[in-house]
Amino acid sequence: MFPYIHVFGKQLPMYGLLAAVGTIFAVLYFKYREKGAGRLAAHLELAFLYGLVGTFIGAKLLFILTQLPQIIADFAYLHTDTQAFLQKYLYSGFVFYGGLFGGLAGVYLYARHQRLSYDALLQLLLPTVPLIHSFGRMGCFCMGCCYGKAAQPATLGLVFHASQIAPNDIPLIPVQLYEAILVFILFIVLARMAKQGKKGKSMLAVYLVAYGTIRFILEFLRGDTYRGFIGWLSISQLLSLLAICLGSWLLWKKHYKTKQHSVSTDS
């Protein structure tokens, strides 16, 4: 739709700009929550930074893993056409689930290093994930990437006219906007849970189950085929199933612990 914006004669990509705006809102959110965080308040900025770095590393690593056969086949171009090789494999290509688990690992490492409660850090920082993600998806819509299938009926679709990625002049399902809205609702739910004092791991469980389900369903509406498939399921759908299983296991564990605790206090 609007892949670039011109500011003071410089051309800026909307995807990066919206992701940056999302990150600024995420910082404002945890700054707002910081006031009641006690001892953890002094650590939130660094924990968030660890999470950000973990997100980049995780998203890139999973992309490389999914593209490994192609990277091996193209490896000769690293010497003959370095710029094109780096353009394809280093500067572009990030996988969301890699970023999610990388970010969680980054915050976990920080908590371990500083001997802090991972659960308490999660409670304060987890809502920032869907918040940044929501803005990122709007950026996808502006760029035309992660586009949907051809809309049936056509009136439900949106048409790209000058996209470098999405097919132009065909009404497409605006799946990026659907995801942006649903993920933003998930942010509101998680922020409310955090305000009510729910535990970080419970919030993580809800997030994994909810986002896994949203993503699994929305993948059926997507029309881009470069994501990679195993059988009739995309790699993102398989990872969504994994996220749903992990979230369900966390919920079951919490339920089992609560039940055991109530039994022990009754007796």
Question: Site residues (CB under 8 A) for another protein?
Answer: 10-13, 16-17, 20, 23-24, 27, 42-43, 45-46, 49, 53, 74, 77, 80-81, 83-85, 87-88, 91
Residue whose CB is less far from another protein, 50 or 147: 50
* Smallest separation (angstroms) from another protein to the CB of 138: 15
CA atoms in the 13 A half-sphere facing the CB of 212: 17
Residue whose CB is less far from another protein, 8 or 232: 8
Q: Tokens in use for 3?
A: 């892949």
Question: Apex CA 243: angle with CA 119 and CA 96, to 5°?
Answer: 90
* Smallest separation (angstroms) from another protein to the CB of 225: 18
* Smallest separation (angstroms) from another protein to the CB of 39: 10
CA distances from 185 to 1, 80, 102, 115, 214 (A): 24, 47, 23, 33, 11
Residue whose CB is less far from another protein, 16 or 255: 16
* Smallest separation (angstroms) from another protein to the CB of 20: 4
Residue whose CB is less far from another protein, 52 or 239: 52
Residue whose CB is less far from another protein, 18 or 173: 18
* Smallest separation (angstroms) from another protein to the CB of 123: 19
Residue whose CB is less far from another protein, 6 or 197: 6
* Smallest separation (angstroms) from another protein to the CB of 52: 9
